[in-house]
Every structure is written in structure tokens, then in C-alpha cells.
Amino acid sequence: MSTEENKERIELLQGTLDLLILRTLLLGPAHGHAIAKAIEFRSDDVLQVEQGSLYPALHRLIKRRWISVEEGTSENNRRAKFYQLTATGRKQLALETSKWDKLAGAIARILRPTEEG
Amino acid sequence: MWRRKRVLQDLDQEIRDHIAMATQDNIDRGMSPEEARNAALRKLGNVTRIKEDAREVWTVVWLEQVLQDVQFALRQLGKSPAFTVVAVLTLALGIGANTAIFSLTNALMLRPVPVRNPNTLVELLHQYPGEPAFNGFSWDAYQILRQNHVLSDLAVDSPNTFAVHGQAIEPRTVFGGFVGGTFFESLGLQPAIGRLVGSEADDLGHPVPVAVVSWSFWKNNFNSDPSMLGKQIVINDTPVTIIGVAPHGFSGLNEEMSQHVWLPLSMEPVIHDAPLGWGSVGLIGRLKPGVSLEGARTELAVLFQSAIQTPDVGPYVRKMNFVLRSASSGLSSPIRQMLHAPVLVLMAVTSLVLLLACVNLAGLFLARGASRRQEMAVRVCLGAGRLRLIRQLLTESFLLSLFGGLLGVLLAYFGGRGLLRMVTSGRDIVGLPVHAEVLARPDWRVLFFTGTITIVTAIAFGVFPGMGLSSQPASAMQQVARIGESRPRRLFGKSLIVAQVAVSTVLLSVAALFVGYLSHLRNGDLGFRRDHLLLVNLDLTHSGYDAEQWSRLSQELLMQLQALPGVLSATFSGMTPMLGAGASSFASVDGHPEVHETISINFVSPHYFDTYGTPLLSGRDLSTSDEHGPLVAIINAAIAHDFFGSRNPIGSYITLDHVTGRGNDTPTYRIIGVVADAKYNDLQQQPPRTLFLHAFQEDHFVSQLSLRATLNPESLTGVVREKVASVLKTVPIARVTTMNDQIDAAIVPERLTATLSSWFAALAALLASVGLYGLLAYSVSRRTNEIGVRMVLGATGGSVMRMVLVEALGMVGAGLVIGAPLALWSKLFATKLSPDLVANGSIWVLYGVVALAIVTLVAALIPARRASRVDPFVALRCE
């Protein structure tokens, strides 16, 4: 487990994408393109996901059993793969979110120390 | 696993869907369909990489890629079997030769002895100028050397042969030794059972008749039965009690001369019935921490000087120099001293062969890489990264190297056995058994060495074709489109040929040097006639004859042998030339006591000089009537010159300091004849000053029988054996050989270097010509067009041929120009290793240059002829 954590700390950006995917799937199952669109839309297009990297990230999450995949039908009636959050994934999201908050808070304190005092 | 499969299976479809949906979105935003699709693709990124990354999530990806690379490489190699076979064979020869020679080097110089801290182990020796160093001191010298401050321990280790018998032990000769009280302790050895020889060994006043045996002796003779402790065995007629077994795997400090029985040093005077004089106390030491070998040598040399400046030490010993050597990989033995220089020379030669093989393969790979450029370009366009392509090429070279390495190890195994046969065909090292097979035993060091050179080789020849590869699809395709080759690549290919020619020149020249030296040794003037001589070595140790009987019987035997048809003459002598040993002493002549020099001594019967064809210069030969008269001697021209100058030595007297085995007598001999100089102990040295004494005058038991035959001497073997058996009923024949064989046996190191270096040089020349041939053939086939155009424009076949030959000549010439000085330089290296080497000027470099020029130009002729026969119309139609 500890090595996994190490890895996440080092690969911060990758981990961030994972977190965003998990957060997106909290709203319900979605296919790949929808996830990419959702992330861009919900961040007011600030986060431009390189869409290609989405798929490896999805595979990584499946491998960790944080999300699962099943067949479904897309908006335009095509068969597509839908990703959805698992129970573990839900827990992980909570965990990751609080970690992220702490991290963001810490960085903010360092970058703008005056605002605190 | 199943998850992986399911998820990956639909990845393609999923990405296509993604693109379709993104395109649709873009269209909805008002883009044209084409624009929309491009934007979607741009946003998605490199599809191949996405797929690889996704797959990477699921696999240990490098492993999978390696497997892919290997599969692909195997297919590629299978497609060009000729290339593959040539490459694998080239590598196998290069790697095999290095492995075989390295396993010798390893056994002789690198493998540590199986004792505690082998690195601090040193060996003390002394050396008479010009002779091999020898480890044998006296008890008194040992006591003086012990007063040093540089060794933490100085232990006695005197190897010896023992005649062993006992209950359930067949009488046999076993190699063993006398050891001091600290020997086993100093080496950190614990007994397998019982106890080892301890401090009682150094109490010379109270010899304790005990013995320690080796593990394998215990196993082979006593079935590893522990109850053998306390039993007696008989060593040289002295019963001793076995007190312990040495640990498993320990058989003395020289692997190739396994020891099996150790007695306390105090038993040495008992067994040999003589005090511990010079030569009987072998010494090994342990360097104190922080003391260098050089530092220890300095102090011990001072002690040694004081040890030999005592009145009871003879003049021979007083001229000794002290030598200290590291014994971390074993004590120096005659076979080690003999093979030291040849092995280093051969190591250098085989390294060059491997270098050449690498360069050769690099050339092959380069040519092949050029013809595969199209394939590479296509793969670049399909998204393969540059690193990935280089890795693919490296995989191919690694595979080739691996196959070559495996085959090379096989070659090394069989070649190594041949090598050992040659090594052991040498003359017997008197009294010392040699188990040469351990020299070829591979261990992890050899495997590591072979593995390393295999990998280094693969990298060395594998990276070249990857150079100049472009990772940009556009420029990769441009490279294909270009008809000719780029200038740097052509130059590089040519420089590889130049390098091969240069290395081959060095190898051929050095081989010519060694072969020249060998033939100089073989055909040089010996001072005796080597042909038609049969040598019979008798074993007199258990004859039971007294001197009187022996003298009568041996003369009887000579009479009968001389009467045989086919025998011109027969003689007895103490030694025969090139046997490798002989007595020596210091001598002076009456009237000139100030001339006091060392001389070699041989004991010979009448007709020795007839038999050997050494001319008598003045005086007369020994005769049977001298036997009971005053002591007489014959000297050779060297003694006459050095002791008498222009005076006539006949009738003068020569006095010896002592003769081997005669204690402190100083016998005087009347000189009755002078013979021409002849080589005696070795072929490399000038004939020594030699004194010939009468074999039957002083009760010597001489055991060497020589016969001059009128026909092939070996055909006499049977009848001579019969005669010996009928006259000397208790004397077995130890060995029968011819003088020619004995001479060959005396120059094993020279034969080894000459034979192997010629083989390797021939191989090198072959490789270089194949390389040149390959490059020219390839260049002619690529230039078919150009040649066609030239011919259409009026070039004749001859001028085209000349064009190709000039190209070849340029490369060969450059190689020779670079190689010749390198060859001269390598001669310095070779003469440093074997100082005896005589090189007649630089003629041998010329041999190398001429031989190589001929071979390579022959190789160039074939493609040149092909070029001259290009049909211009066919050539142009190819376009």
C-alpha cells in the first residue's frame, strides 16, 4: 500500500486526473467522451484534459477496482462502455478529496501567508 | 486477467466512438465535417500511444515489448539465414576463443585458493639469474626470515612426492608435502575429522610420525570411514599414523597439483635421511594488514641476504635473488611459469580477434541496415519511436550474440580440451604430477567473463545501424527515396573495413613473428643431431642392484643393443638434451683458481658423442677402460674458451665445488677431450658450459638410454623393450620417446603461441576479406544503375573493374598503413612478455602485410568482375 501512496504523491498530475474522473462519475455512470466533456465543462474549460490520457487513466481506475465498466447504450443509441463508481471508489473519492483539500489549503497558505494573519 | 482482456478488447471501438462523438460535437458547434474531425483527432492526441499507455496499465509492459521484439527479431533473422549463420559463426569463434583462453588465465592467475583471506597470502622464492624462481629454503634461513616485521605468519609448505602403501592401499606415488606447525592454522583450515598437524611439526628434535590426508584420499581409500583415524600407512618405508582429514575441497595451494598427504616438517629429515638443507623448506607468508607486497619484499630481501651470507652456504645459493609473489591464486608452479607469458599473449590475440569480429559484424549490420531502411521508414511513419527502433535492432544483435555466445562456449569447451592436450604434451615436470584438467574447469568467473563479452559485443556491433535513423516520418521516407548512400554512412562503412584490415595486419604479423621464432628454435643448430634418436627412460628406483652390478649389466645391455640391426650406437647418460633438468656446479681449473663459474654436468657412457653426433674437437672419447682408472672428464668448447682461452686444455685438471649428491667433496678430473658446444637443457638459451663425466666411474646410476638408429627410431621400440627386459630383469621402462618428440615437448609454450596465433590470424584475414567482399558486393549491387550509365556512356568492363578494385585498394592500403606501425608496437609488447623472442628485423611485418594484401584483393576481385559484367540495358531497366 505504501508504495502505491508514494507513487501517487510523485505523479500528482496523473492522480489529479483520476480524482476528477471519480468526481465526475459520482453523478452517475458515463462513457469516455462524456467524462472528458464533463470535466472540461464543469471546470469552465479551464482544465483542458488531453483526452487521450483519459483512457489509460480509466484503465488504471478499473485495475484498482475504484470504478467498474459495463455495456450500455449511448445518447445516440450506440452500444458503448459505461464507467461507474464502485463502493471502494466512493470511499477513495472521499479520501482523495479530503487529501486534496488539505494539500490545496497547505499550498495556499504557503503562497499567500498574509491572507491568514 | 479477464478484466484486462475485456477492457482492452473494445478499446479501439471506444476510441472510434469517442472521435465520432467529438466530431459530431464540433459539427454542432458549426465546423465543417472535415474540420470537425481534424479538431477531434488533435484533441485526442496520439492514438497509438494512448493504446500503448492503456495496455501498459495492465502489463509489465517492457517484458511484453521485449517478447515482441524477440519474436520479431527471430523472424527477421530467419528471413536472412546466410547473414545469420555468418554472424553467429563469427561471434562463436570470437567469443569461444576468448572463453577458452580466459579459462586458462582464470585458473592460472585469477581463481583464489580455497583458504581464509587468500589475498594476503604470499610466497617466498629465490631465483638464480636466468632460471625459474624456486620456493625452497633451509631451516636456518627460515629462522632468519622469521625475524621480519612485515608478515603476520611465515609457514612451512614443502610439496613432495611420497611412495605410499599400507593396509588396503595399493603401493602408489602420491603428491603431498611437509608442513610446519602453523600451516593449517594460518590458512584457517579446520579438520573434517580428527586433528591437523600442529606445533609439534616444528620440533625437529622430536619427530612425530603422523599424517593428515585429504578428503578425497579418505573417501577413495577408506570409504570415508572415520575409524581409519589412528591407523598406519607407510610413507617411503616409514610408518606413520593418520591423525586427521583435511577439510573438503582443500588439496594444497595449487589446484593443478593436488596434494593428498601432509606430514609434519620434523619428519622430513627422517623420511629423506638428510638434514633440512637448501631447497627443503618451502615458505608461505601472510602480509600484515597495511603492508604492501613491495614493502614486504624489501625487508625480506635484506633478511634473505643475511641468510645466504653464512659460511655453510655454497656459491650457487649466494648468487640467488629474493623474490616475493602474491599467492592469492596459488603457488607458482613450473606449469604456471611456463604458461604465464603464452597465456597473456594469447589473451591479447583473442581480444583482437573479438574486436575484429565486432567490427566485421558492425559492417554487416550497417549494410543490412541500409537495405532495411525502407522497412524502418515505414515503421517510423506508423508511429514507432526512435528508441523503440534502436531497441529492436539491439534485440537482434543481442540474439545473435546470445547464439554466438552459446556456440562459443561449446567451442571453448572442446577447444579448451585440445588446448590442454597440447599443454600437457609438454615434458614431465620432474617429480610433480599435473592435473591439467582443473585448468579448464569453468567457474562463475568464466561465465561472468563470457556473459560480459557477449553483451558488450552485442552493443558494440548493434548500435551502428541505429545511428542516422530518423524519427521524423518525412525525412525517413526521404532517406529511402535517395538512391545512393549518404556520404557519412559510406565513409563509416569503409572505415570499418580499414579497421579490419589494420587489426588483421597486426594479427598476421604477430603470428608470423611467433611462427618465425618457433621455426628458428626447431631448425636452429643444436650441436647434436636430433633425427633418428630413440630415448628410453629407465626407472631404477627399485632395481635392487648395487653399483658394481649396475655397471656390469648396463654395459652388457649396451653391447647387445649395439649388435641389433638398425642400431648404429647406444649410450647411457644421466640426462638427455631437452629433458628439462640436469646437474650443475661451480668449477675451477688448475693454475687459474680465479676463474670460478657455474657449469652444467652430465654423466655419460662411452659413445655418447657418437650417438648424438656431437663432434670431438680434440683429445679422445671416454672408454670402458677408464672405469677403474683415475677420474677423467670431457669438456665442451664453451668451457675450453671460458676457462682456458687459447691454451690447450687436454691434460689439465678441473675441480668441482661439489657434485649433486656427493656432499662436500671437491673432486678433480683430468680433461681428456674437448667436444663441440651443444644445447642442453633448453632450446632458447645458448649452449651452456658443459662438463661430461664418466657414467661408470663414480657409482652413478644413470637411467637414460639413447640409441642412434639407421631407420625410423620408433620401429625399434619393441625390440629394445625386449632387450631391456631380458638384461635388466628388475628395471621397468618409464618412458620411450624420440628426440624429436622430446624437443617438441620442451617448446610447448612456443608451439602454443605459434599455432594458436596462426589460427587466429588466418581467421582474422578471412573475416577481413569477407567484410571487404561484403561491402564491395553490396556497393556494386547498389550502383548497378550508375555502372550501367557509365557503360552506356562508353566505359569498358575493364575500366569498371578497375574502378571497383581501386576502391578496394584504397581501403586495404589505408588499413595496412595503419596496421603496420601497430604491428611494430605489438612486437614490443610480445618481446616484453617472452624476452627470448628473436625477431629478424621487421620482415615478419612484411609477411603480414603481403599476406593480407593478397587475400583481400582476391576477395575484391569477385565483386569487381561482377561489376564489369553488368549489362547496361538490364541495369537501366531496373530503375
Closest approach of A45 to chain B, Cα-based (Å): 13
CB contacts, 8 Å: B54 with chain A:
55-56, 59
Q: Are B96 and B410 contacting, i.e. CB atoms less than 8 angstroms apart?
A: yes
B 12-71 residues inside an 8 A Cβ radius of A: 14-15, 17-18, 21-22, 24-25, 43-47, 49-50, 53-54, 56-58
The pLDDT confidence band at residue A40, using thresholds 50, 70 and 90, is confident
Q: Do A63 and B58 touch (CB under 8 A)?
A: yes
Q: Taking CB atoms and an 8 Å limit, are B15 and A55 in contact across chains?
A: yes
Whether residue A41 lies within 8 A of chain B, CB to CB, comes out as: no
Position B476 scores a pLDDT of: 58
Amino acid at B837: L
Of A36, A51, A59, the CB nearest to B58: A59
A contacts of B60 (beta carbons < 8 Å): none
Cα–Cα dist B142/B283, whole Å: 8
Contacting residues of B for A78, CB less than 8 Å apart? 17
* Helix axis angle, B487-523 to B843-868, nearest 10°: 140
Binary contact (B50, A80; C-beta < 8 A): no
A32 vs chain B: nearest CA distance in angstroms? Answer: 7
Question: How big is chain A by its Cα radius of gyration, in Å?
Answer: 16
Closest CA of chain A from B50, distance in Å: 6
Amino acid B431: pLDDT = 44
Chains A–B, number of C-beta pairs less than 8 Å apart: 62
Instruction: Identify the three-state secondary structure at position B6.
Output: helix
Contact list, B6 vs chain A (CB under 8 Å): 69
pLDDT of B482 reads 52
Identify the pLDDT of residue B617. 94
Torsion of CA B156, B159, B165, B169, to 10 degrees: 100
B540 and B715 Cβ atoms separated by less than 8 Å: no
Evaluate whether B510 touches B349 at the Cβ level (below 8 Å). yes
pLDDT range class, residue A8, cuts 50, 70, 90: very low
Mean pLDDT by 10 residues, chain B (879 residues): 66 83 86 87 81 75 76 86 87 90 84 88 88 85 92 91 82 87 91 90 89 92 89 89 92 84 92 82 92 92 89 76 90 80 88 89 78 72 72 86 91 82 64 59 82 86 65 58 60 86 90 87 87 89 81 90 92 88 78 74 92 93 88 92 88 77 70 93 85 86 91 90 88 86 84 88 88 83 81 84 88 90 84 68 78 87 86 69
* pLDDT at B145 (0 to 100): 93
Q: Do A31 and B17 touch (CB under 8 A)?
A: yes
Sign of dihedral through CA atoms B372, B373, B377, B383? positive
Mutation target among A33, A45, A50 for the B interface, most CBs of B within 10 A: A33
Nearest-Cα residue of chain A relative to residue B45 = A52
Are the beta carbons of B50 and A37 separated by less than 8 Å? no
- Chain A positions touching B14 (Cβ under 8 A) are 31-32, 55, 80-81
* Residue B539 burial (CB count, 10 A): 13
Contact check, Cβ <8 Å, A59/B7:
yes
Question: Confidence class of residue A7 from pLDDT cuts 50, 70 and 90?
Answer: very low
Distance CA B727, CA B557 (A): 6
* CA-only gyration radius of chain B, Å: 37
String of DSSP letters for B751-796? HHHHHHHHHHHHHHHHHHHHHHHHHHHHHHHHTHHHHHHHHHTT--
Look up residue B582 and give its three cell numbers: 640436469
pLDDT above 70 (res A49): no
Q: Which pLDDT value is given to residue B438?
A: 64
The predicted structure's pLDDT at residue B835: 67
Q: How far apart are CA B455 and CA B106, in angstroms?
A: 20
Measured between beta carbons, the chain B residues lying within 8 angstroms of A60 are 57
Query: A117: distance to nearest CA of chain B, Å?
Result: 44
- Judging contacts by C-beta atoms under 8 Å, the chain B residues touching residue A84 are none
Q: What is the pLDDT of residue B427?
A: 61
| Contact present, B144 and B162 (Cβ < 8 Å) | no
Q: Give the β-pairing of B232-235 and B151-166.
A: antiparallel
Of B10, B14, B46, the CB nearest to A52: B46
Characterize the bridge pairing of strands B151-166 and B169-179. antiparallel
Q: How far is B43 from chain A (nearest CA, A)?
A: 6
Residue B58 is predicted with a pLDDT of 73
| All residues at 6 or more sequence positions from B161 whose CB lies less than 8 Å from its CB, including other chains | B173, B174, B175, B176, B431, B432, B433
Put simply, the chain A residues between 69 and 98 with a CB less than 8 A from any chain B CB are 69, 74, 76, 78, 80-81
pLDDT recorded at residue A11: 36
Cα B42 to Cα A31, A50, B23, B36, B687, distances in angstroms = 20, 9, 11, 10, 91
Identify the pLDDT of residue A4.
40
Is residue A58 predicted with pLDDT exceeding 50? yes
What are the distances in angstroms from CA B194 to CA B220, B251, B326, B867? 18, 17, 31, 82
Cell of B84: 545469420
Interface residue A50 vs chain B (CB under 8 A): yes
Residue of A nearest to B39 (CA): A51
